[in-house]
Amino acid sequence: MENAEQLIRDAGQRPTPSRIAVLNVLAGAQHALTHPEILQALGSEASFDRVTLYRVLDWLLEHGLAHAIMGHDRARRFQHTQKNTLHQHAHFKCTSCGKVFCLEGVHARLPAQIPEHFTVDSIELNIKGCCADCQRAQA
């Protein structure tokens, strides 16, 4: 995993303590996190309020350092975007625990015919089922 400060610098931006802290949380997460989960993961390190966290998350999205995934509960979840990748992969949503995982190796395919004058920025493919942890818990 690359250093969050360096990732921000590589994006041509200024690494602030808030940006570094949030990006470190996202980069270290095993699954996409909601706003409250990010605040909890920051713990005492979070010297900023909820609004500041929303601003940092929006900034990370804008600069391609994170991407958002809409959960089945309509809560956005955030995950670190790997360097030099487009957000065109599938997401696995566990219907038991609600966690959302990026499936980097599963790519959505662009339809053969896109209407003229349309450009595609991202593709979403959502797969729903039961994650390994929930399957073990149910056994």
pLDDT at 65: 92
pTM of the model: 0.71
Q: Does residue 127 or residue 124 have the better pLDDT?
A: 127
Q: Which token pair is 16?
A: 């602030």
Express each pLDDT in 48-99 by its tens digit: 788 889 999 999 999 989 988 877 778 888 988 876 555 566 888 888 888 8
Q: How far apart are CA 31 and CA 102, in angstroms?
A: 7
- Assess contact for 28 and 43: CB atoms under 8 A: no
- Strand 89-94 with 125-129, pairing: parallel
pLDDT at 114: 83
Of 132, 66, 138, 129, nearest to 93 (Cα)? 129
Express each pLDDT in 8-26 by its tens digit: 998 889 999 999 999 999 9
